[in-house]
Amino acid sequence: MVFIQVESRRRRSPPWATISIVALSVLAFFWLAATSGEERLALLARWGTVPARLFDTSAPLLRQLVELRALRLFSALFVHANWLHLTGNLLFLMIFGLAAERLLGSRRFLTLYLVGGAVANLVGALTLSSAVTPIVGSSGAVSAVVGAYLALFPRSRLGLVLPLGLFLEFVKVPAPVLIGFWVLLQLLFTYVGPTFGAIVWWTHIAGFLVGALMALISRPAIARRLRQ
């Protein structure tokens, strides 16, 4: 009998972090859509980041702990005010998140998404410390993913299917060009979206910078993971 050692390739685990984020965001949107107008606004205020409530030092500490106000920085990432905002965020999350998760690993990617989004919401709340309108949506977290992708794949090209004339064409677009389109889209959401105006743009900038920084810090861990 001859024993032969066959080299086996480890199968890549599914990108469960990106899939879970998309599923939770879609479920939360349909849950909100099933409520009435006033109830929906109340839920957005309850689960979104309300700057005036987050920095309300006059509220008793016990009340702040019971209401878990700091956790609204995270819960706000999964609720969206309208389908256009939800679709835009999830589209770019899928484009950049799947590749980033494969390289970072699912747990590190999920940490990047949550921490980057929470810090972005915190920066947005600091610029609007007296606002009673909630900050909702995953724009800050997706900006962190986009920043991480640019730090990890600065020269990559992304394949897209675009409608050109009567046919669909597969084209490869440099990642910085697509990221530039993301920036323009976020500017559009900023100026035609909520009453926050251009100040919310700092939320996106903060998320982008935090994501890029976390990706650069993770490079040694990524190298060890690839060697293993």
Question: Any idea which residue has 């905002």 for tokens?
Answer: 85
pLDDT category of residue 11 using cuts at 50, 70 and 90: low
Residues 84 and 132 sit within 8 Å (Cβ to Cβ): no
Across the range 114-132, mean pLDDT stands at 89
Q: Which is higher by pLDDT, 114 or 137? A: 114
Percent of the chain topping pLDDT 70:
76
Is the full-model pTM beyond 0.75?
yes
Across the range 52-74, mean pLDDT stands at 74
pLDDT exceeds 60 at position 4 = no
Q: How far is CA 66 from the centre of its chain?
A: 27
CA dihedral of residues 200, 205, 208, 212 (deg, nearest 10): -150
- Over the chain, what is the mean pLDDT? 80
pLDDT exceeds 90 at position 141 = yes
pLDDT tens per residue, range 142-160: 999 999 998 888 877 766 6
pLDDT tens per residue, range 164-222: 666 666 667 777 787 777 777 666 665 554 443 444 677 888 999 999 999 989 888 87
d(CA 111, CA 20): 13
pLDDT exceeds 60 at position 7 = no
| pLDDT value for 109 | 95
Residues 101 and 17 sit within 8 Å (Cβ to Cβ): yes
Question: Dihedrals φ, ψ of 195, to 5°?
Answer: -75, 0
Residues 36 and 85 sit within 8 Å (Cβ to Cβ): no
| pLDDT value for 78 | 95
Range of weakest confidence among 89-93, 98-102, 145-149, 202-206: 202-206
Across the range 28-56, mean pLDDT stands at 87
Percent of the chain topping pLDDT 90:
27
Question: Which residue type occupies 135?
Answer: I
| pLDDT value for 75 | 93
pLDDT exceeds 50 at position 3 = no
Question: Any idea which residue has 């099933």 for tokens?
Answer: 34
